[in-house]
Amino acid sequence: MMKPHIPELTATDVEILKQEVIYQGHMKLLKYELKYRLFAGGWSPVVIRELFQSRHAVGVLLFDPLRDEIVLIEEFRLGALAQKSPWILELVAGIIEPNEAVTEVAKRESQEEAGCDVLDLIPMVEYWTSPGISTGRFSLFCGRIDSSKAGGIFGLSHEHEDIRAHVFPKDFVYNALKTGEINNAATIIAVQWLQLHEFEIKQKWK
């Protein structure tokens, strides 16, 4: 069996020559001039890169193991404007506020965006969303819910949220993943995780 790859280079092998703020709005855009060590030895030439400074986010796949149902939300996303409809199916998710625990965010956003009380949380994975251009990281959870009364329109008006929560049979969601109707990274990762761990999740929550 192959041993896991452990990177030999670290953050100390990057030299920041210049850093400036290009834009400060909903997100901060930074410009860097830097060098980094090469695998073959020596240093790279000076490289210019732009980086979005974004905060850590939390996503929750809301799952009712007794009814075999999943709650997903539908929301307008500007980045998806190029496709037929920029309203996409996705997980409940939100940004971590200062001094807020990831589990608190998961429970808060489940209420705000889908009207669901989370009865239990199981960590899935944590990953960098797009490390070539952003500092953002995502923590994913599977949240146990009672989906019998789920569904409806939610969101905070002062955040300009207009969110519709859908209750789907689990197999419908699995098929939507297969057909490409579910097409954003966090939701794809979470649904695939549930497919791999469904038996043990149901054993834990039965």
For residue 108, give both structure tokens: 């808060």
- 47 DSSP assignment: E
Secondary structure letter of residue 7 according to DSSP: -
Integer Cα distance of 13 and 143 in angstroms: 39
Any residues with CB less than 8 A from the CB of 175 and at least 6 apart, and which? none
Phi, psi of 95 (to 5 degrees): -85, 140
Locate 150 and state its tokens: 């789920």
Check if the beta carbon of residue 144 is closer than 8 Å to that of residue 67: no
User: Over the Cα atoms of the chain, what is R_g?
Assistant: 20
What are the residue numbers of the active site? 159
**C-alpha 6, offset from chain centre:** 25
